[in-house]
């Protein structure tokens, strides 16, 4: 077991692996500690959408735009295909309320240069001819993309290792060492690692890590369930979801911590290489229960067959569920609010795959400033100055 590093990253999801990669690239000696295997949490259960059309204007959208630029070059950067593909994204409205919501979203997105279009019913059906159910209009973003979440996560992990990072899988962090108000390392199930920086990238489990240093993080698990249909050649590649799914995504966790589920909506993603179709997911606050439920799996299939009857002839291959690290504040990046040297990279909710490269880059710069404040707004400004194409 390594006993000394410049930084310990806790969690081997896409976020932790991205942080480990960019820190290693910046020259730091990194130890990544993952209690299970790389990509065993939320990072392997998502459809890999890298979408701007699903985000409200503001910091998250700006981070997402910068992150998409990084995703575009990630296969070359990491030396492994991430299966990044631009297939477009259509969000359809079933009611006047949803139309107004999409118009508001589009205004915020256009304000920062995202090329979204408001399209009528006919255009929606042209874009994805499977659509048969009630559709009034839609929000379309031709540049929205997706990538393979397994490949992105493993790609970051392998590239970090190639740059000298040590990855300790099957190793749980059990405590954080602090002396005189400064982090000095972590206690793990396989021994201690000394380091002046500890980055909490434990996803939905980040609050438990925070408790180890007396820090409170506004992160709660938000379950998403997915149904996978068998591969077939002939289906359209463009992603389609209902505006109601987006409205559900933007619903905050109940303050009293009670379980909360939103209605099931259409969500269709076809994976270009495998040809499988992913349906879902849901947005459920049900604590740390990461199991599928029979009624939700049936509901996802029923909803898809209502909007896209042709899917009804395909067999279901499998279903899965996972826990997003939801934060009402959006991603929590940088200062962890604990001892000096304790940082966070969590709270990405349903956007962690999309935001992983920009998160890793930000954390590497934050740590590189060695405790000096680095507001995310300043980071975004620095990116724009360095590359005028990131607007």
Ligand X SMILES: Cc1cc2nc3c(=O)[nH]c(=O)nc-3n(C[C@H](O)[C@H](O)[C@H](O)COP(=O)(O)OP(=O)(O)OC[C@H]3O[C@@H](n4cnc5c(N)ncnc54)[C@H](O)[C@@H]3O)c2cc1C
* Distances in whole angstroms, Cα of residue 198 to Cα of each of 51, 194, 273: 30, 10, 37
Query: Is there a contact between 152 and 74 (Cβ–Cβ < 8 Å)?
Result: yes
Report if residue 173 touches ligand X, rule: CB under 6 A: yes
The set of residues, in sequence order, having a beta carbon less than 8 Å from that of 145 and lying 6+ positions away, is 49, 50, 51, 68, 71, 84, 85, 86, 87
Q: How many residues are there in the chain?
A: 391
Contact between 348 and ligand X per CB under 6 A: yes
The window from 83-91, 116-124, 202-210, 362-370 that contacts ligand X (CB under 6 A) reads 202-210
Candidate residues 33, 91, 279, 304; the one interacting with ligand X per rule CB under 6 A = 33
Is 52 a binder of ligand X (CB under 6 A)? no
Our finding on whether 11 is near ligand X (CB under 6 A) is yes
Comparing CB distances to ligand X, the nearer of 99 and 178 is 178
**Least distance in Å: CB of 142 to ligand X?**
18
Binding region for ligand X (CB under 6 A) out of 28-36, 100-108, 137-145, 248-256: 28-36
Looking at the Cβ atoms of 339 and 352, the one nearer to ligand X is: 352
Q: Which of 35, 65, 71, 217 binds ligand X (CB under 6 A)?
A: 35
Among 8, 9, 10, 32, binds ligand X (CB under 6 A): 10
Q: Pick from 152, 229, 240, 354 the residue near ligand X by CB under 6 A.
A: 354
Which of 26, 40, 118, 136 touches ligand X by CB under 6 A? 40
| Min CB(353)–ligand X separation in Å | 3
DSSP letter for each residue of 10-65: E--SHHHHHHHHHHHHTT--EEEE-SS-TT-SGGGSS--EE-STTS-TTHHHHHHH
Would you count residue 138 as binding ligand X (CB under 6 A)? Answer: no
Tokens of 332: 């929590």
| Residue 325 touching ligand X (CB under 6 A) | yes
- How far apart, in whole angstroms, are the C-alpha atoms of residue 236 and residue 99? 24
Question: Interacting stretch for ligand X, rule CB under 6 A, among 92-100, 201-209, 297-305, 308-316?
Answer: 201-209
Minimum CB distance to ligand X, residue 157 (Å): 11
- Quote the least distance from Cβ 52 to ligand X, whole Å: 11
Binding to ligand X (CB under 6 A) within 218-277 occurs at: 224, 226
> Following DSSP, what letter does each residue of 131-161 receive, concatenated?
--S---EEEEETT-EE--HHHHHHHHHHHHH
For the four alpha carbons of 292, 294, 296 and 300, in that order, the dihedral sign comes to positive
Q: How many residues bind ligand X (CB under 6 A)?
A: 42
Please name the residues in contact with 113: beta carbons below 8 A apart, sequence gap of 6 or more. Answer: 65, 391
Per CB under 6 A, does 128 bind ligand X? no
Q: Which of 155, 203, 336, 339 binds ligand X (CB under 6 A)?
A: 203
* Binding of ligand X by 16 (CB under 6 A): yes
Q: Which of 9, 15, 61, 147 binds ligand X (CB under 6 A)?
A: 15
Q: What are phi and psi of 13, to 5 degrees?
A: -85, -175
Q: How far is the CB of 357 from ligand X (least distance, A)?
A: 11
- Report the distance separating Cα 201 and Cα 167, nearest Å: 14
Taking CB under 6 A as the rule, does residue 217 contact ligand X? Answer: no
Cβ 9 vs Cβ 16: under 8 Å: yes
Cβ atoms of residues 51 and 108 within 8 Å? no
Tell me which stretch binds ligand X (CB under 6 A): 32-40, 101-109, 124-132, 254-262. 32-40
Question: What is the rounded CA–CA span in Å between residue 121 and residue 200?
Answer: 45
Place of tokens 């279903």: 319
Q: For residues 25 and 35, which CB has a smaller minimum distance to ligand X in the complex?
A: 35
d(CA 117, CA 8): 43
Interacting residues of 372 by C-beta distance below 8 A, sequence separation 6+ = none
- 45 in contact with ligand X (CB under 6 A): yes
Which residues are at the interface with ligand X (CB under 6 A)? 10-16, 33-36, 40-43, 45-49, 172-173, 201-205, 209, 224, 226, 281, 322, 324-325, 346, 348-354
């Amino acid at each position: 077991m390594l006993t000394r590093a410049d930084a310990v990253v806790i969690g081997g999801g896409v976020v932790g692996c991205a942080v480990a990669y960019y820190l290693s690239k910046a020259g730091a000696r990194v130890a990544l500690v993952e209690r299970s295997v790389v990509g065993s949490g939320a990072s392997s259960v998502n459809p890999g959408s890298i979408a701007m059309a699903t985000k409200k204007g503001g910091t998250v959208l700006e981070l997402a735009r910068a992150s998409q630029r990084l995703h575009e070059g990630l296969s070359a950067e990491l030396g492994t295909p991430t299966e990044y593909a631009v297939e477009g994204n259509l969000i359809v409205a079933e009611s006047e309320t949803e139309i107004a919501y999409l118009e508001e979203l589009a205004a915020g997105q256009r304000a920062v240069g995202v090329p979204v279009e408001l399209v009528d019913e006919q255009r929606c059906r042209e874009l994805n001819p499977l659509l048969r159910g009630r559709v009034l209009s839609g929000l379309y973003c031709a540049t929205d993309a997706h990538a393979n979440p397994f490949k992105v996560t493993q790609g970051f992990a392998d590239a970090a290792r190639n740059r000298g990072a040590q990855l300790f899988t099957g190793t749980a962090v059990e405590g954080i060492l602090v002396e005189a108000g400064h982090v000095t390392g972590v206690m793990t199930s396989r021994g201690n690692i000394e380091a002046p920086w500890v980055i909490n990238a434990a996803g939905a489990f980040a609050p438990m890590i925070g408790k180890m240093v007396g820090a409170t993080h506004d992160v709660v698990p938000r379950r998403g369930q997915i149904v996978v249909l068998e591969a077939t050649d002939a289906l359209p590649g463009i992603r389609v979801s209902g505006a109601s799914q987006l409205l559900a995504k933007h619903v905050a966790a109940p303050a009293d911590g009670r379980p909360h589920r939103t209605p099931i909506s259409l969500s269709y993603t076809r994976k270009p290489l495998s040809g499988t179709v992913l349906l879902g997911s849901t947005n459920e606050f049900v604590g740390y229960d990461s199991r599928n439920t029979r009624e939700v799996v049936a509901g996802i299939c029923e909803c898809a067959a209502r909007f896209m009857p042709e899917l009804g002839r395909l067999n279901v291959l499998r279903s899965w569920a996972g826990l997003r690290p939801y934060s009402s504040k959006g991603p929590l990046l940088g200062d962890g609010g604990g001892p000096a040297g304790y940082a966070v990279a969590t709270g990405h909710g349903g956007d962690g795959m999309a935001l992983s490269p920009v998160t890793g880059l930000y954390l590497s710069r934050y740590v590189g400033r060695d405790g000096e404040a680095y507001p995310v707004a300043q980071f975004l400004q620095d990116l724009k100055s360095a590359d005028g194409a990131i607007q």
